[in-house]
Amino acid sequence: MPPQDKLQEMTAGVSQRSEPDRNDDRYNPQRVESKWFERWQNEPNLYAADPSGSEKKKYYVLEMLPYPSGALHMGHVRNYSIGDALARYMWMNGYNVLHPMGWDSFGLPAENAAIQNNTPPRQWTLGNIAKMKAQMNRLGFAYDWSREVTTCMPDYYRWNQWFFLKFYEKGLAYRKNSRVNWCPKCCTVLANEQVVDGRCWRHEDTLVEQRELEQWFLRITKYADELLRDLEKLDGWPEKVRTMQRNWIGRSEGTLVDFKLDYPENSGGFGPAGGTISVFTTRVDTIYGATSIQLAPQHPIVADLAAANPDLRAKVDQLIAEQRKAKEAGDIGEIEKHGVPTNRYAINPFNKEKIPIWVANYILMDYGTGAIMSVPAHDERDYEFAKKYKLEIRLVVLPISNDPEETMTEPVLPFVAHDGMLINSGPYSGLDCAEAIKKMSKFAEENNFGKATVTYRLKDWGISRQRYWGTPIPMLYCEKDGIVPVPEKDLPVILPENVDISHAVGSPLSSLPEFVNATCPNCGGPARRETDTMDTFVDSSWYFYRYTDAHNDHAPFDSKAAQYWFPIDQYIGGVEHAILHLIYSRFWTKFMRDLGLITNDEPVERLFTQGMVIKDGAKMSKSLGNVVSPDEMVARYGADAARLYSLFAAPPDRDLDWQDSGIAGIQRFLGKVYRFVTRNASAASIASVDTLSAASLSPAERQIQRKLHQTIKRVSDDFQGRWHFNTCISAIMELVNALHAYEESTTSQAKSTSSALLAEVQRDLILLLAPFAPYLAHELWEIIGEKGSLLKAPWPKYDPALAKEEELEIPVQVNGRLRGRIVVPADAAESVVLDRALADEKVKSAITGKQIVKRIYVPGKLVNIVVPSGSVK
């Protein structure tokens, strides 16, 4: 520290309160961090990636972009600390790193804030972005801001509109009147993915209602099969996320079978004349055991029947209410099955049998066809239902077992196994289930009453939102020409400003005549503009492509740039986006590939889902009052300490229990490093590192060198493999502790090799610390007199020869119990080690007078002497 600064700090200390002069080597994070902060601020392109096409190997590391709420929380800090450490590590390993950041800046909170504070959403949002960007910079995150993406800006959302037109062109965007999820708090529609246990994803206390609305949909179901199939390729993704997506897509192979309606005399008819009920089943092999048809209460045929029958209407309404209750109940479990007979019948096309049609509360209209054939003997739900209403239960499959006793005996009902043999099934009796399914599906298809088919749980993505702060959907409604897309050349459809959203009923944009009234590009006549905006998940479905070419104003991005950078090598974010964001992103990628924009099938090579930050056993939240503010942590302990602690306190994939005392410990550690390096800086800077050879070192020095190389290995291995940064950091702490002990024990003699060694160790220590604590690392880099930039300085090399122990301490067990320790050369022969072990006093006394049954030596690990048991006691 220059003397002037020293003096300043001394006087400052005295005049304030009690900052004593002999603590002037204390690490002052505020001073050091603000110094580097200033420098970095003056170098806006410090972290800019090399242009795409660079010779260097590329590495694209990405953290999920935040919603600009106005302040970072600890979850962000943790997320970005992981990504930043990785980006810096890859830089130091010579990669061309792309590490961008942006803002998912459309969405409801801006509208609520606008109403509350009387601030326009745009102003509120941009103000928040500025605040959060400053926070990120203060934390020292190395982002390439030249590629910043802000989704609420026209230069971004015009490409949302462009993509929408492409979807429309390809027949993958369509409009339909449908029953939609409506959140009364958001006052807008929710996608299926945004409904959790019958409640709004952002309002856990609010039940979602059903409404009939005209909506725009994107045909994600066209890619259902590929989205499912390609999950197999994503072996860099957590299995948990893949399972969740697999469940969400919900592929199910089965058969559609049409049952003819049986018209009773004088019934007045029901359903379409000559009509049928189509059912979906995965077990067509059990169709001879079908003893009723069960319809969803919302089924059109039920509506028909109920229209003429008020009594039935009331009962069906009751079933609908029960069904809704079950959905809302979430984890409370299944409700009791209820049903109502319609007193109508349908004909089983296989055996021509007449079976009753019921309406049941356990049949869902939005899965399959909303109708099933009920086979009580071979389905648990059907069994329960049939028992309750005394419907016939007919066994048509018998178990086949290796045990002859069991084979062909009557099974316990319901018998749902797939590996049985058919009975009571006409010409199909005697077949096994799998074969029967094939033959029966074929028969149905040949006779025009059914076919093999695949059903998905995944539904098309409803993207219309009746909100203001979003991307306008670029569509027009002309009286003459109907639905007309806005021509590409007219994009973007600009979201108007100065819109009074506080009293809006329905879509706020619909109250703006100057927005609504437009001209039809086809006929030149008057047209009405679409006033709904897009779901904000559209924005985040492709934003990471925009980073590759963020300022392109004639395409969403340049294909070559995307081809260079994609797929994303490492994506890091919360598991809460496992379905919504990550499935939409995969869908968008596949669509862009089919457009010819990109060549990759999947956007993300490796996905990492970090754990939550919790405090006092609960997720941080304002209502619980356990929120830790990053600003406060930075002010008290510094950015390095906050970052380091968020990596140290737990492995990154697990939840992190925040403890203020823990971060204080990290600050102590950083101070220790700082003091060590400042004390030894001058000695280190004069020594030549090249003169160092293991042979010239004293045992104590060799030990330090060994520890250094072991630490380099541990930290490097973790970056390459399992990402347990908590153990990386503890390894660095061990190294520092060892250095400290070494320093204490070293006398002033042999200074020259000592300082040469110190030069090497300090340099490498600083490099090891650089990805985690960039401020301190840069400061120390300067202090030891290094001239070049630390940012991309080469990562230290691990030398196995230098890391190798020369002597080992081997624990000696007798019958698996630790009795002594011996020190042997690392390459000692087994016989030598065993002799030494048997000569150990404690071992001797444990085995005196006993016969040695067995001697075990695990090289380098331990010795175990086995003597007859019992005699040891």
Partner RNA sequence: GCGAAAGUGGCGGAAUUGGCAGACGCACCAGACUUAGGAUCUGGCGGGUAAAACCGUGGGGGUUCGAGUCCCCCCUUUCGCACCA
Residue among 227 and 475 whose Cβ is closer to RNA? 227
Task: Note the helical H segments in 142-184.
Answer: 154-169
> CB 396 → RNA: shortest distance, Å?
14
Burial class (CB in 10 A: 0-12, 13-18, 19+), 339: buried
Cβ proximity to RNA: between 618 and 686 the closer is 618
Q: 295 in the Ramachandran plot: left (φ > 0), alpha (ψ -120 to 50) or beta?
A: beta
Residues 146 and 48 sit within 8 Å (Cβ to Cβ): yes
C-beta of 284: minimal distance to RNA in Å? 8
Q: Closest distance between RNA and the C-beta of residue 368, in Å? A: 3
**Nearest of 291, 399, 273, 275 to residue 339 by alpha carbon:** 291
CA 854 to CA 815: how far, in whole Å? Answer: 10
Give, in order, the Cα–Cα distances in Å from 280 to each of 31, 256, 289, 302. Answer: 70, 5, 15, 17
Looking at beta carbons only, is 695 or 801 nearer to RNA?
801
User: Quick one: 188 or 361, whose CB is closer to RNA?
Assistant: 361
Q: Which is nearer to RNA, 206 or 730 (CB)?
A: 730
To RNA, the closest distance from the beta carbon of 711 in angstroms equals 11
Q: How far is the CB of 324 from RNA (least distance, A)?
A: 10
Nearer to RNA, 124 or 280 (CB): 280
CB of 736 to RNA, least distance (A): 8
What's 425's DSSP letter? -
Nearer to RNA, 354 or 861 (CB): 861
Report the chain's terminal Cα–Cα distance, integer Å.
64
| Cβ at position 40, least distance to RNA in Å | 27
Q: How far is the CB of 707 from RNA (least distance, A)?
A: 11
CB of residue 824 to RNA, shortest distance in Å = 12
Residue 508 CB, shortest distance to RNA, in Å, is 32
C-alpha–C-alpha distance, residues 272 and 277, integer Å: 10
Nearest to 636, CA basis, from 597, 662, 675: 662
Secondary structure of residue 779 in the 3-state scheme: helix
Q: Other C-beta atoms within 10 Å of 63: how many?
A: 25
Residue 122 or 387 with smaller CB distance to RNA: 387
Provide the b/e sequence for 554-585 (b: ≥16 CB within 10 Å): eebbbbebbebbbbbbbbbbbbebbbbbbbbb
Per the structure block, which two tokens stand in for 552?
Answer: 């392109």
| Rounded least distance, CB 457 to RNA, Å | 4
Q: Where are the beta strands (DSSP E) in 77-208?
A: 96-98, 102-103, 149-150, 173-183, 188-190, 195-196, 199-200
Backbone angles phi, psi at 436, to 5 degrees: -65, -40
User: Residue 90: which of 542, 828, 720 has the closest Cα?
Assistant: 720
Return phi, psi of residue 696, to 5°. Answer: -80, 0
CB closer to RNA, 169 vs 632: 632
| Shortest distance (Å) from residue 350 CB to RNA | 15
User: What span, in angstroms and rounded, lies between the C-alpha atoms of 788 and 282?
Assistant: 67
Report the residue number, 146 or 243, with the smaller CB distance to RNA: 243
Least distance (Å) between residue 329 CB and RNA: 9
Give the DSSP per-residue string, 204-234.
TT-BPEEEEEEEEEE-GGGGHHHHHHGGGG-
- In the bound state with RNA, the residue whose beta carbon lies nearer, of 154 and 811, is 811
CA distance 372 to 385: 13
Please list the residues that pair with 347 across neighbouring strands: 260, 354
Instruction: Tell me whether residue 69 or residue 192 sits nearer to RNA (CB atom).
Output: 192
Q: Which two structure tokens, joined as six digits, stand for 348?
A: 């089983």
Residue by residue, DSSP assigns 336-395 as: PP-EEEEEEEEE-TTT--EEEEEEETT--TTSTTSEEEE-GGG-HHHHHHHHHHT-----
Query: Between 606 and 672, whose beta carbon lies closer to RNA?
Result: 672
Residue 822: strand, helix, or coil: strand
Question: For RNA, which is the closer residue by CB, 370 or 567?
Answer: 370
> Which CB, 390 or 817, lies closer to RNA?
817
514 vs 744, beta carbon nearer RNA: 744
Q: Report the nearest approach of RNA to the CB of residue 297 (Å).
A: 11
Residue with smaller CB distance to RNA, 293 or 476 = 293
**Closest CB to RNA among 475 and 732?**
732
Q: Which helix (H) or strand (E) holds 688?
A: none
Q: How far is 550 from 100, CA to CA, in rounded Å?
A: 10
Using the structure block, give the residue that is written with the tokens 């979850």.
75
Cα–Cα distance list, 783 to 62, 766, 779 (Å): 32, 11, 6
Nearest approach in angstroms of CB 287 to RNA is 10
Residue 94: CB minimum distance to RNA, A: 24
What is the C-alpha to C-alpha distance for residues 155 and 553, in angstroms, rounded to an integer?
Answer: 7
Query: SS3 of 98, please?
Result: strand
CB distance 479 to 526 below 8 Å: yes
CA pair distance 103, 110, nearest whole angstrom: 13
CA–CA separation, 295 and 277 (whole Å): 9
Compute the least distance from the CB of residue 219 to RNA, in Å.
19
Which is nearest to 30 in space by CA: 784, 776, 778?
A: 776
CA gap 248, 363 in Å, rounded: 19
Please report how close the Cβ of residue 668 comes to RNA at its closest, in angstroms: 4
